[in-house]
Amino acid sequence: MDFGEIYKYSEGHTFHEADANFKIIEFDLLKISENCVLAKYKLKKEFIKDNITIKSIRSSIWTYNDKYWKIIFHQGTLIK
């Protein structure tokens, strides 16, 4: 897969989420402002039944509004 490509699963191929293991690696939280943070982490997703591992770098921006945190941006990029 090259930079800028959008990954799509093969037609008719489905992954069995119930049989998947998820592992968060290198989680980091950066305070952007008083009520805003950037979360960065790597995700390793192993589909046991399909014998497939997918890795990605993920980031999300969260804002706090007096009562709760709300995600305002999320992005994931597949890596090898």
Residue 1: is its pLDDT beyond 50? no
**Closest C-alpha to 32, from 67, 59, 5, 3:** 59
Q: In what order do the strands lie in the sheet with 52-65?
A: 20-33, 36-47, 52-65, 68-79
Q: Categorize the per-residue pLDDT at 18 as very low, low, confident or very high, splitting at 50, 70 and 90.
A: low
Domain covering 18-76 in this structure, CATH number: 3.10.450.100
42 near 25, Cβ under 8 Å? yes
DSSP 80: -
18 near 26, Cβ under 8 Å? no
The mean pLDDT value for 44-65 works out to 91
Residue 7: is its pLDDT beyond 70? no
Residue 2: is its pLDDT beyond 70? no
37 near 59, Cβ under 8 Å? no
Q: What is the pTM of this model?
A: 0.69
Domain boundaries, the chain: 18-76
